[in-house]
C-alpha cells in the first residue's frame, strides 16, 4: 500500500504543479490562484465529516480504489480538452474540485487502515515516515513537472497521473489485504439520519475532549494565516523574485527536502517522550520560517529556498506526532469520521484566509501575507506551550482526564 501511494502521490504532485503553474503563467492573478485553492478546500471543509462517516461504514480498500479511479477519469477528460484545444479555466477548477472530493474519501480510508496494520508503539515512527514520503513527493514532483512542461505538450504531462494511479490501484487490488474494524451497526441501512448521527457522534466525541478541541481551534488559526501561503507562492516567485517554473520548483523541492529530513529523523528517533511537545516545537519553528520568507529581499532567492527547507523540516515535526496521538487514542471504528471532522474544523478558516489574502497580495504585496502567517503560528505555539489542556494532550485519556500514572509527567 505504501509503494502504491508513492506512485499515486507522485503523479498527483506532478499534475498539481502543472495545473497551478498553467494558471499562474496564463493570468498572473492572485484571485485566480485563490479560486483554484478554494475549489480544492471547500469539499474538505463542507463534505469531509460526511465522507469520513461513510469511510467508517464502507469497505476501506474499495473506497481507496474507487477514489483513485474517479481522479483518473477526471484527468483523462482534462487531457482530451487540452488535446482539442477546448480547455477553459473553469474546466481546471472542476477537475481540482473532483480531485479534492476523491481525496476526502481516500485520505481517511488510508489513515484509518494503517492504524489496524501497524502496532501502536510505532505510530509516531509511522507518522515520521509518512511525512518523509510527503517530502519526497514535494522534492521530486515540482522539478519533474517543470521539466515535463518544457519538453511535452500539456496533455502528455497529465497522462503521468493516469499511469501512476493505475499502478497504485493494481498494487492495492492484488497485493494488499486491508483489515476492517469491528462495528456492530455496519449493516445498518445508510440514511441521511444515520449519516448525520455518525457525524454528530464525531463532533460530540471531540467536544468531550477539551484538549483535542482546543488544539483543533489552534490549527484553524494557523491554517487561516497559512492557506494563502501555498496559494500565493507561485505569485511570490514571479512578482517578487522574477522567477519562473524552475525557481518555483526549487522552492517547493526545498520544502520537500526539509520534510524528508524531518520525517526520517522523526521516524528513527520518534520525537520527545511527550509527543505534543515535539509538535508544538515544530509549530514554533514553522512560524519563524514563514516569517523569514516574508521578509526575504527580492534579490536573495537562495535565502528564500533556505527558509523553505526549514519550513518543511518543521512541518514534519508539527504534523507527525499529532497523527500518532490521535491514532493511538481514537477507537479504530470512529477514526474515519473523527479524522475528517478534525480536518474540516482545522480547515474551516482557510477559505476565509484565502479570500482576504488575495486583495492584500495584489495591493500590498505577497510578503505581507507571509509575515502575518508567521506571526500567527508563533503566537499559537506559545499559547500551546502555556495551555495545560493542550500541553498534556498525549497523557490524557479521551475526555481529557490524565491517569494517575501519567500525572508526574504532566507536572
pLDDT for 240-290, tens place per residue? 888 887 888 888 888 888 888 888 888 788 778 888 899 999 999 999 999
CB atoms inside a 10 Å sphere around CB 112: 28
Q: What is the pTM of this model?
A: 0.69
Q: Is residue 242 packed enough to be buried (19+ CB in 10 Å), middle (13-18) or exposed (0-12)?
A: exposed
Lowest-confidence pick of 12-16, 36-40, 380-384: 36-40
Q: Which candidate, 20, 83, 55, places its Cα nearest to that of 231? A: 20
Amino acid 310: pLDDT: 94
Q: Are 398 and 208 in contact (CB under 8 A)?
A: yes
Amino acid 170: pLDDT: 93
Q: Which tens digit of pLDDT belongs to each residue from 26-69?
A: 887 777 877 887 888 788 888 888 888 888 888 888 999 999 99
**% of residues, the chain, pLDDT over 90:** 20
* pLDDT of 374 above 70: yes
All three cell numbers of 263, joined, read 520525517
Amino acid 21: pLDDT: 84
Kindly list the distances between the CA atom of residue 59 and the CA atoms of 5, 308, 411, in Å, as whole numbers in the listed order.
Answer: 18, 39, 43
Q: Which candidate, 102, 132, 123, 118, places its Cα nearest to that of 6? A: 132
d(CA 280, CA 383): 10
d(CA 370, CA 308): 12
* pLDDT of 79 above 90: yes
Lowest-confidence pick of 144-153, 193-202, 400-409: 400-409
Amino acid 308: pLDDT: 92
φ/ψ (deg, to 5) at 86: -110, 0
Q: Which candidate, 259, 229, 240, 220, places its Cα nearest to that of 373? A: 229
Q: Are 205 and 398 in contact (CB under 8 A)?
A: yes
Q: Are 287 and 374 in contact (CB under 8 A)?
A: yes
Full set of structural domains in the chain with CATH: 2-410 (1.20.1250.20)
d(CA 352, CA 231): 13
Q: Which tens digit of pLDDT belongs to each residue from 332-369?
A: 778 778 877 887 887 777 777 777 777 777 777 778 87
Cα 168 from chain centre: 19
Amino acid 185: pLDDT: 54
Q: Which residue has the cell 497521473?
A: 161
Amino acid at each position: 500500500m505504501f509503494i502504491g501511494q508513492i506512485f499515486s502521490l507522485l503523479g498527483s504532485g506532478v499534475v498539481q504543479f502543472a495545473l497551478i503553474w498553467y494558471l499562474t503563467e496564463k493570468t498572473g492573478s492572485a484571485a485566480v490562484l485563490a479560486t483554484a485553492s478554494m475549489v480544492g478546500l471547500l469539499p474538505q471543509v463542507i463534505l469531509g465529516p460526511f465522507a469520513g462517516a461513510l469511510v467508517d461504514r464502507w469497505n476501506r480498500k474499495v473506497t481507496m480504489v474507487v477514489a483513485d479511479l474517479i481522479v483518473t477519469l477526471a484527468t483523462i477528460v482534462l487531457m482530451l480538452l487540452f488535446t482539442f484545444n477546448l480547455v477553459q479555466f473553469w474546466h481546471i477548477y472542476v477537475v481540482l474540485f473532483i480531485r479534492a472530493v476523491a481525496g476526502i474519501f481516500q485520505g481517511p480510508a488510508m489513515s484509518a487502515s494503517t492504524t489496524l496494520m501497524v502496532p501502536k508503539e510505532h505510530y509516531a515512527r509511522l507518522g515520521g515516515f509518512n511525512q518523509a514520503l510527503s517530502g519526497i513527493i514535494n522534492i521530486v514532483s515540482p522539478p519533474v513537472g517543470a521539466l515535463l512542461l518544457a519538453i511535452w505538450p500539456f496533455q502528455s504531462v497529465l497522462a503521468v497521473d493516469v499511469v501512476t494511479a493505475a499502478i497504485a490501484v493494481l498494487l492495492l487490488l492484488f497485493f494488499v489485504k486491508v483489515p476492517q474494524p469491528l462495528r456492530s451497526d455496519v449493516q445498518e441501512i445508510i440514511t441521511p439520519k444515520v449519516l448525520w448521527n455518525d457525524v454528530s457522534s464525531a463532533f460530540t466525541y471531540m467536544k468531550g475532549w477539551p484538549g483535542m478541541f482546543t488544539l483543533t481551534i489552534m490549527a484553524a488559526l494557523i491554517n487561516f494565516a497559512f492557506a494563502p501561503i501555498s496559494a500565493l507562492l507561485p505569485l511570490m516567485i514571479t512578482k517578487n523574485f522574477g522567477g519562473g517554473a524552475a525557481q518555483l520548483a526549487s522552492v517547493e523541492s526545498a520544502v520537500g527536502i526539509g520534510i524528508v529530513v524531518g520525517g526520517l529523523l522523526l521516524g528513527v528517533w520518534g520525537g520527545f517522550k511527550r509527543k505534543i511537545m515535539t509538535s508544538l516545537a515544530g509549530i514554533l519553528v514553522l512560524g519563524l520560517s514563514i516569517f523569514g520568507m516574508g521578509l526575504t529581499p527580492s534579490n536573495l532567492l537562495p535565502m528564500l529556498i533556505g527558509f523553505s527547507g526549514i519550513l518543511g523540516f518543521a512541518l514534519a515535526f508539527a504534523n507527525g506526532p499529532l497523527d500518532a496521538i490521535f491514532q493511538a487514542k481514537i477507537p479504530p471504528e470512529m477514526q474515519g469520521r473523527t479524522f475528517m471532522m478534525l480536518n474540516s474544523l482545522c480547515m474551516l478558516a482557510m477559505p476565509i484566509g484565502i479570500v482576504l489574502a488575495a486583495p492584500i497580495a495584489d495591493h500590498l504585496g505577497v510578503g505581507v501575507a507571509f509575515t502575518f502567517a508567521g506571526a500567527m503560528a508563533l503566537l499559537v505555539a506559545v499559547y500551546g506551550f502555556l495551555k495545560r489542556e493542550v500541553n498534556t494532550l498525549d497523557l490524557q485519556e479521551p475526555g481529557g482526564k490524565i491517569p494517575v500514572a501519567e500525572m508526574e509527567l504532566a507536572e
